[in-house]
Structure 1
């Protein structure tokens, strides 16, 4: 590999592949800086092994707190109901948008001339990093290890990566990474692995939720919550004002503790293949359900159809790493306009993974969403009043 005294900034998570990239490029005598973001992830609790190894290898690590930014992205996704196929919140695609946008200037500050990441060759995330790199890192060259033959021959599989890293120290967290991986943030956690990919395999026997409990393990008692929205944005929980970060943290805890948990999806990947993944986004599921109820109550039939179509576009764009493109912006602006009067308070009951809407109050009424009533007039006349 041609070093040319270039400094490489690496988007690092402490996961197996980004850790391997850090060590490999350092071994190739590149000048390396690892950028490690705190996005509220629950899947890499034992990050100390990665940090100890970086210190041993004299790889500087720049830590950055992006919990506020990832929560703001999550609240936007709720406003836009931006789910992907199968009805799940694509936390991984959203996280890539937040990481590249917010770390790009840091890489310039540290005089990086190249950037790299741990996303495997030809996968969804490599496409996402490429797309966002073309927007926010135009002046910085990409170093994609999985496009390099030396790297490919050294790391044929995850076993090779684990064994390589174990040669530098006895790290207890590595063995469990041989056949599975996770990617997490406040928006959600994705689970992938050898067994999960096999549709004949019962994933529930190996996948352990990290943000939630399974429904059958939740308390045998429902929990009530009141969510208030203003123009499609969560503003209060149980009557108390909240920031996006506070809202997502509270909803993750409440929904996760009450069994809003794992979700299995066989999705169409960017490369036109199919693959199963397991996802959990308890707080997003809770907020998204409430948001849907507000939209159902406050906007008319044709507006709702338009919103649904725009939501699908935005969800797909996030998945494909195209959130900042003009087409996405246009779809977002359309929903922004539709959501101007998406106000109201939703009272929910959560019980063992099920979310029920108990009531909706203080919602906006116009000529397009006047509630039709029958029984208020003796049960024999339909009326809008």
Structure 2
């Protein structure tokens, strides 16, 4: 952002932990960059008091809106998150096959890690992005990587599940109990600080 001489960072229209963490990160490492938050814009809140106002605005510019009846959805290469008020309203998984539709024969997968990152999948050299995409395909077609909660959320992350499981096997083979405890403690600390925007 600094290289592009950005002066304003516009965030999403909702206030949640990710947005707050991102704002802290910018204020700490690039204090000269201004931050625009939609939820602090009183004029914007007056113009868009409801979801219907937002949809009408999109339609006025010819943008097709999509309203999902099955809950809020977040989608990225890392996975899909579904939120519903009632767990019984959750849709069928998108990335991950139902176990009844998976092959009864297990699929072998070879993962090569270097410096904690997967660099080769089934003999094919891969960048982090390609490795994640390949892992999504492999784990998804084998019914791996779905988590449901009682609060009405469903998380699909087949590639992340496969890659982290492979890395966990390496840790178990490489660390004794003391080293594993230290690694777990420091990893948790670093992850929390990253979420708060404390580390670059």
3-state SS of paired residue (1:229): strand
Shift in Å, 1:106: 6.3
**What RMSD, in angstroms, separates the aligned Cα atoms of the two structures?**
2.7
2:10 aligns to what? 116
Question: Mapping of 1:102-113 within 5 angstroms?
Answer: 104-105=1-2, 107-108=4-5, 112-113=6-7
| Partner deviation per Cα, 1:186-234 (whole Å, 9 max, x = no partner) | 2223233xxx2x3xx225x433434333333333432111112234332
**So what's the TM-score if we normalise by structure 1?**
0.46
- Pick closer, same or farther for the CA change 1:317–1:276 going to 2, 3 Å: farther
Distance across 2 between alignment mates of 1:284 and 1:209: 15
Question: Mapping of 1:53-132 within 5 angstroms?
Answer: 104-105=1-2, 107-108=4-5, 112-121=6-15, 123-132=16-25
| Partner deviation per Cα, 1:96-142 (whole Å, 9 max, x = no partner) | xxxxxxxx14642xxx4322122413x12320221222145422211
2:99 aligns to what? 215
1:259 and 2:143 correspond: yes
Query: 5+ unaligned residues in a row in structure 2: which ranges?
Result: none
Larger Rg: 1
3-state SS of paired residue (1:151): helix
3-state SS of paired residue (1:163): helix
1:324 aligns to what? 199
Distance across 2 between alignment mates of 1:285 and 1:175: 29
The number of residue pairs the alignment matches comes to 200
Distance across 2 between alignment mates of 1:283 and 1:262: 11
1:312 aligns to what? 188
Distance across 1 between alignment mates of 2:115 and 2:63: 52
2:119 aligns to what? 235
Distance across 1 between alignment mates of 2:184 and 2:48: 43
Distance across 1 between alignment mates of 2:13 and 2:81: 14
Shift in Å, 1:300: 0.9
1:226 aligns to what? 110
Shift in Å, 1:244: 1.9
CA contact (8 A) 2:90 2:152 kept: no
Shift in Å, 1:253: 0.8
**So what's the TM-score if we normalise by structure 2?**
0.82
Question: Mapping of 1:178-217 within 5 angstroms?
Answer: 180-192=71-83, 196=84, 198=85, 201-203=86-88, 205-217=89-101
CA contact (8 A) 1:252 1:284 kept: yes
| Partner deviation per Cα, 1:78-112 (whole Å, 9 max, x = no partner) | xxxxxxxxxxxxxxxxxxxxxxxxxx14642xxx4
Distance across 1 between alignment mates of 2:152 and 2:102: 25
CA contact (8 A) 2:96 2:141 kept: yes
1:167 aligns to what? 60
1:245 is matched with which residue: 100, 124, 129? Answer: 129
CA contact (8 A) 1:251 1:282 kept: yes
